[in-house]
Chain A
């Protein structure tokens, strides 16, 4: 009896072990989430409202000048884009789910019942089918498992890595001829804003995906200070704010004495999180955790540069002093309900490093809770008080919109994108919004752009809107016609926030949108000033090489663990040299060879 039990136990154990030899699958929580993705979406945030307008379909230029050919061609594409299918066409998509950013989205709306799904079916005869929906932080795992099974959605947003990987396996449809046939100025403005950007999506001259980019300037980082809190340590005007690392350290020391610390938000996404990260301090030392810069014609990886030791030992010094939470590295700032963000909102920090959009979130929530808060953007830190050199990407590409090999109607992706653009342009001018019936309003708020497998964000819109709206503000305009508006999908949102702030200057939310996008010395203004005054070093690589696909992930991990370990004092700073050796041996050298080969033949 006993014997048999044991036997059974043993044999089931054996079976379990054999099973384990396959790739362990199953769910569970992710080890780490893709910070990049989250950051990008926040950057796009709020702004979606937009729209543009102008006469519905045909582009102005085409109509006005009517130079026979180009005008006709453009109009042709637009007519084609709006043409509904005769028979219903099914487009299978997948979704990394996030709650709608629009607080007025009805709670019972799901991706399947959203406005886009309904109207695409009614107006174009395109039936959007969600094959699966998972939370954003699970997407990479789920997609990996589906890809292993050979399941590729019809229309999908891909990370540069997955894009390259799938394209090289023949998993994506060549869009070249479709693009030629269906492109028009409105689409070019998004995917080919400088006349060259579209090439990022090409391999061997064939277009495998539409690149989704941002303004390279958006990768800059800034220092936000709450003047109201700083008052108590004797800083009463913005020109007293620190310019050098030394002055900054003095300020932090003073704050430490007063509050006992921590004085700086920090998180495990220590670089490039765009909020509560160490990016501005790396920049102050003219060092970068990643990126390939041109050193006399050869690309070198910034993350293994000797110079990083300096900033790492400084950060370690600050950690020991207690500037950051002792266990900061356990927290992901992009996790839902992140404690780091909660602390910022609660006003625990008088200093918050972050990107241009930070006033729009989470500083706006802070201002709602603490109306006395008075956030300003301080000077970019450096060692000598001068603007340091900065590194920005030649082409920041977050994602590609691609069409899977089994899609029967590849042109549908263009129709969908164009439809979305038209829909938002048509519905977001203030007059249209004000004239909406309740039903129409519900429909508008049930259009959730994050639930679609593409974005219609024009990379140049931030600067464009900043300039245009400030010009109108100077002229004292409070009303403009649709014809005076630039054709990007962010414009009307920005315009509305300008009007809103003028009316309700004490409202924290109105302040947030205004201060991030439009204010003098606000987020965007400082971002533009930074790239215009700084010497720029470009991160030249915007392609993904074969070794990157297989090795970059582990290399980044190795780097991150080393950096954080040095910052936390677990590894002495000389551990950096060991890291460099390992980095090279583990595939860094292969990647360097490949990117340089690409760079020479570009």
Chain B
């Protein structure tokens, strides 16, 4: 019996050998770049000195964790990460949702397509380029302040060093950059809605607005749920690259996130162990969130990963 089963397995493995070979690069990649480096996490429990290596560096147990938990900048970064990621996740669903519903109502297809293209464009630019533009636009003597001053007679605001506004700029610009992508995803979902449903609704006398509310929205809800839940797993990834190229010490209080802090300490400050401890801590928290999000996904939509 068991013999038979094994044979069967072997056979099917042989049958699909091309597919398995094709999978190989991905497996190797994951092993080398994701699993193998995990051994390096030991440095979070050491006073790691690169020249002494893992074997000779002093083992300090949880000292590094004790140290990072006393750091005000760590606590601050932790809170900032949550706040920024939370708003980014919510808004990067909400804004494209509204946008795609609106686009769907547009009758002229050339207009719809050009808007789609235009909102998609920023997605392709790297943050290094966009940051340069944004910093220019929001500078004290930049366009935004000029407009505010000449049209609304508002005193110029130092956006770039303002702990009141800078976080909003970070979140808004990220949502703006990414909205084209999710809009296209959602539009695709909307197009897939069964036309018969609309017909039925029209027969029942539903207005455009009612159709959106009772047909379109419910139909694309699963897609929205998937996007949200996927976002939840990345709640501690609040956008490293963007913040690294846009922030400055004055606004660290509101926009410094765990990843930028790890970068500053680990790479720029050569504090490998403390940075690794932070990274590990972040991963642990992320794991919890990923677990929760998968569980929700499983319960609500019956998708399973494991």
Residue of B35, B71, B240, B245 with most chain A CB atoms under a 10 A cut-off: B71
Task: Name the residue on B nearest A11 (C-beta).
Answer: B305
B230→A166 contact, CB < 8 A: no
Q: Which of A528-570 contact B (CB under 8 A)?
A: 549-550, 553-554, 557-558, 560-561, 564-565, 568, 570
In addition to A23-B279, A144-B266, 5 A-B residue pairs with Cβ atoms within 8 Å of each other are: A13-B290, A18-B283, A28-B244, A147-B50, A327-B139
Task: Name the residue on A nearest B140 (C-beta).
Answer: A327
Q: Which A-B residue pairs are the 5 nearest by beta carbons?
A: A327-B158, A21-B283, A169-B51, A326-B158, A329-B250
Q: Nearest-CB distance from A4 to chain B (Å)?
A: 10
B25 at the A interface (CB under 8 A)? no
Interface residue ranges, B against A (CB under 8 Å):
30, 33-35, 37-38, 40-41, 49-53, 67, 70-73, 128, 139-140, 156, 158-163, 226, 230, 233-234, 237, 240-241, 244-245, 247-250, 252-253, 259-260, 262-272, 274-276, 279-280, 282-283, 286-287, 290, 294, 297, 303-305
Task: Name the residue on A nearest B163 (C-beta).
Answer: A570
B263→A564 contact, CB < 8 A: no
Task: Name the residue on A nearest B274 (C-beta).
Answer: A550
Interface residue ranges, A against B (CB under 8 Å):
3, 6-7, 9-11, 13-25, 28-32, 140-141, 144-145, 147-150, 152, 161-162, 165-166, 168-171, 268, 325-330, 405, 549-550, 553-554, 557-558, 560-561, 564-565, 568, 570, 582, 585-587
A145→B230 contact, CB < 8 A: no
Task: Name the residue on B nearest A7 (C-beta).
Answer: B305
With A19-B34, A20-B279, A23-B275 as contacts: A148 and B250 at CB distance below 8 Å: no
CA distance A403 to B195 in the complex (A): 75
B250→A554 contact, CB < 8 A: no
CA distance A54 to B234 in the complex (A): 68
Residue of B51, B163, B267, B271 with most chain A CB atoms under a 10 A cut-off: B267
B233→A565 contact, CB < 8 A: no
B128→A554 contact, CB < 8 A: no
Consensus secondary structure, chain B interface: helix
What residues on B are CB-neighbors of A150 within 8 Å? Answer: 50-51, 53
Q: Nearest-CB distance from B131 to chain A (Å)?
A: 8
CA distance A570 to B104 in the complex (A): 46
Task: Name the residue on A nearest B135 (C-beta).
Answer: A330
Task: Name the residue on B nearest A171 (C-beta).
Answer: B51
Q: Nearest-CB distance from B276 to chain A (Å)?
A: 6
Residue of B41, B233, B234, B270 with most chain A CB atoms under a 10 A cut-off: B270
B163→A31 contact, CB < 8 A: no
B248→A17 contact, CB < 8 A: no
A568→B249 contact, CB < 8 A: no
Q: Which of A31, A161, A326, A565 sits near B247, CB closer than 8 Å?
A: A31
B244→A31 contact, CB < 8 A: yes
A560→B279 contact, CB < 8 A: no
CA distance A268 to B251 in the complex (A): 12
A7→B303 contact, CB < 8 A: yes
A325→B249 contact, CB < 8 A: no
Q: Nearest-CB distance from B161 to chain A (Å)?
A: 5
With A6-B303, A586-B72 as contacts: A166 and B250 at CB distance below 8 Å: no
With A147-B270, A162-B270 as contacts: A22 and B40 at CB distance below 8 Å: yes
A10→B50 contact, CB < 8 A: no
What residues on B are CB-neighbors of A329 within 8 Å? Answer: 161, 248-250
CA distance A268 to B248 in the complex (A): 9
Q: Which of B35, B52, B139, B260 sits near A169, CB closer than 8 Å?
A: B52
B158→A29 contact, CB < 8 A: no
Task: Name the residue on B nearest A146 (C-beta).
Answer: B50
What residues on B are CB-neighbors of A549 within 8 Å? Answer: 270
What residues on B are CB-neighbors of A168 within 8 Å? Answer: 49
B71→A586 contact, CB < 8 A: yes
With A31-B244, A150-B51, A327-B161 as contacts: A553 and B38 at CB distance below 8 Å: no
CA distance A147 to B270 in the complex (A): 8
With A554-B71, A564-B249, A585-B70 as contacts: A20 and B303 at CB distance below 8 Å: no
CA distance A564 to B53 in the complex (A): 39
CA distance A329 to B139 in the complex (A): 12
Q: Nearest-CB distance from A539 to chain B (Å)?
A: 22
What residues on B are CB-neighbors of A330 within 8 Å? Answer: 139, 158, 160-161, 248, 250
What residues on B are CB-neighbors of A144 within 8 Å? Answer: 266-270
